[in-house]
Amino acid sequence: MSNVTPIFRIFDEHKAKQFYLEYLGFHVDWEHRFEMDLPLYMQISNNYLTLHLTEHYGDCSPGSAIRISITGIEHFHQALRSQNHAYSRPEIETTEWNTKEVRLIDPFGNKLTFFEEM
């Protein structure tokens, strides 16, 4: 086994693209609909992570959570904070298990925890 691709449930294409593309800096690899007025399924990625986002109700449950190991969490945190995003102003938390973490919740209740070992 080499890779895992998390799938997150979304409900609004515009809000998903605002959060994942504009705020987090992902780009769209591809989009799929069986027909123009049917739900969207798409793959997004950045240099380190690939995610699938789906409007299909049977694919997964909203409110999922993933943990993402990163290097340079302070730089990542500052990049997010400098955007003055209307709905997300994350802080860095130092945990009892010796990580620094930045927790984000997307507009659909999915949780992304970015962490760096101390």
* CB neighbour list of residue 114: distance below 8 Å, 6 or more residues apart: 68, 70, 73, 76, 101, 102, 103, 104
Domain 7-117 has CATH 3.20.20.150: no
In the chain, where the domains are located: 7-117
Determine the pLDDT at residue 29: 98
Determine the pLDDT at residue 38: 93
Determine the pLDDT at residue 77: 97
3-state secondary structure (DSSP) of residue 17: helix
3-state secondary structure (DSSP) of residue 30: strand
> Which residues of the chain register pLDDT less than 70?
none
